[in-house]
Chain A
Amino acid sequence: MTRIFVTVFAWAVLFFLVAPLLVIFPLSFSSGEILTLPVPGYSLRWYEDFFLTERWLDATKNSFIVGIATMIIATVLGTTAAYGINLTNFRGKTVVLALLSLPMVVPLIVTAASMYLAFSVVGLANSLWGLIVAHTIIATPYVLITVLASLQTFDPNLMRGALSLGARPVTAFREVVLPLIMPGVAAGAIFAFATSFDELVIAIFITSPGEFTLPRQMFAGLREFISPTITAAAVIMILLSFILLFISEAVRRRGERLTAGKVKQ
């Protein structure tokens, strides 16, 4: 009895989680202009609109520019910092770690407003550069966490081994450390990209129409007039999230295999 109740309840919750996302799919293929079900007929007109309107294309392009730039910078800075943190037990380590993960716990609205106020002073507001800086700051903690986690299973003797065999520190890092912590680095990079690609609050504060990202353009669309093109944009974003989820799961599995196959002592 309890078992049946729990089962029904759980499936109802899972349905609640997924159904709203599924509803968007038929709506995006509607031939009508009113967002309701059942749809009057199917067409690709809203996708056509998305791919033929400059606003949407620019926004998509901006999202990829900012997302990829954020991913690269956050991954490089996060990985080097994680390696530095892992290297020694220097004084102030916990303080540094807390400071670097602060962007994760400060409410995003506070971060966004503060960055808007401060970036305006130095001319970084209303520029893609400002958004890249902001996204890098909120995305790096995730890289830091995933890379630190994979460094924890890394045997420091491997680095020593590489040095003793004649590798310079940078070469040793590239040839020995990096391949072995790659799952963590990749997971962090994907998360950094996703964070930037999905981020809206900061984008609301520090972008003007020329620099709108995809979420920012959708937000503008929702507030001004709801064109069904938004559903096409939403479907595109859902598919992208799905791809990112798929990659991150694949990376995680690979990471688990690597850890499982650690050299026995």
Chain B
Amino acid sequence: MTKHGAAPLVVFDNVDKVYDGSTKVVDALNLQIEQGEFLTLLGPSGSGKTTTLMMLAGFEAPTRGTILFDGAPLNNVPTYKRDFGIVFQNYALFPHMTVAENLAFPLRMRRESAADIETRVQRTLGMVKLDALKDRMPTQLSGGQQQRVALARALVFEPRMVLMDEPLGALDKQLREHMQLEIKRLHEELGIAMLYVTHDQSEALTMSDRIAVFDEGRIQQIGSPRDVYARPQSTFVASFMGENNRLDGTVQTAQGHDVSVQITPGGPTVRAALAGGTVQVADTVTLMVRPECIRLSHEDGAANRFDGRIAEVVYHGDHVRLSLVVDGVGTLVARHPVSETGTEFTPGDIVPVSWSAQQMRAFAGKGPSNTSNGD
């Protein structure tokens, strides 16, 4: 998994975190963070991602296992000696200090000279485009500005690594998307390793080099955004990462990864790619296919071709979402770009529907019965 070929920066070696002697929040975690990478811990609340960050920051001690930084164990290193820049969800700006004083704080703690502090604060403020606001109090700043100050304060002392705990959670959608790019730019400029915790999958997909999807204290899947999105290895990851059509059926034939599945007895079979493990004929499997993979034509390479009746059309500006009823298969949601369609869709119309076998993932056993929605 090492991307840069060098030794990993951080290693979680079989780490457990148990609260109150019984609640296991992090369960046998093994995780490596590479030098300079942007790693996102993604998962629903209570999945253990924030606890993982807190343990790395030194605010929580692992119940079992060790965390190594640059090969040295961190367990007995107090937070103030870890040299990590941390951005908190509520920013944790010191309300009794000006913006410049907030930035100077970590440098003062490191006993830098006054002149040094001045130049570095100035430089960092320039980096996040806040030069004009250095003498304001945090309470006089907008949410976005506060976020930038928090980011600048975490970077000003050139930490060995940056940890961010849902740093954009309090911002509105537009500002959030803007800041995502801003953080991405800073990461590329500084080349510093960043650990980012979020529950927002689109944020994770936009920013990360790698994503670790957490659930119930364990990493369900780790890999590049493309990998995790396109090739989820479990129904949880598939449904957490974006929207999915979900069908349960019975295996008719299985050859390697290639399976054909019958959804309703006596109905047609659909072809899908097995996401992992092995299945036998007559096993129950869950099938998942993303709405954007469903084409409204009979594509040449597509193994699954049907006719569907339009049950509902919802206009979304750049695309339309169609609910399609395919006899013997079920209701599928398709997402169709508006620009390509000169045609109007009307409920009741019959349209050609197709998708490739590779884009339909088959998971052994019945997955969790939550509906397919991660958007």
Contacts and interface: CB of A to CB of B under 8 A. Distances in A.
Interface residues of B, number: 33
Interface in B141-174: 143, 146, 153-154, 157, 170
A157 B92 contact: yes
Interface string A160-198: 111111111101100110011000000000000000000
Nearest to B59: A160
Nearest to A261: B139
A14 interface: no
Given A157-B90, A262-B139, A165 B95 contact: no
Contact of B96 (A155, A169, A179): A179
Interface residues of A, number: 25
Interface in A75-106: none
B232 interface: no
Given A263-B95, A265-B90, A165 B139 contact: no
Interface string B96-123: 1000000001100110000000000000
Chain B CB within 10 A, most for which of A155, A165, A169:
A165
Q: Chain A contact residues: over half helix, strand or loop, or mixed?
A: helix
Interface in A142-170: 155, 157-158, 160-169
Interface stretch (B80-88, B202-210, B250-258, B327-335): B80-88
B79 A160 contact: yes
Nearest to B109: A166
Contacts of B322: none
A3 interface: no
Contact of B94 (A158, A166, A171): A158
A161 B95 contact: no
B91 interface: yes
A264 interface: yes
A58 to B, nearest CB: 42
Given A160-B59, A179-B96, A167 B139 contact: no
Nearest to A175: B105
Contacts of A169: 78, 80
B85 to A, nearest CB: 7
A166 B94 CA distance: 14
A233 to B, nearest CB: 41
B106 A263 contact: no
A101 to B, nearest CB: 27
B109 A160 contact: no
A155 B92 CA distance: 8
Contact of A162 (B105, B139, B170): B105
A167 B106 CA distance: 7
B57 interface: yes
A261 B95 contact: yes
- The 10 closest A-B CB pairs, nearest first, are A161-B92, A165-B106, A166-B109, A157-B92, A164-B86, A163-B79, A261-B139, A265-B90, A157-B88, A179-B96
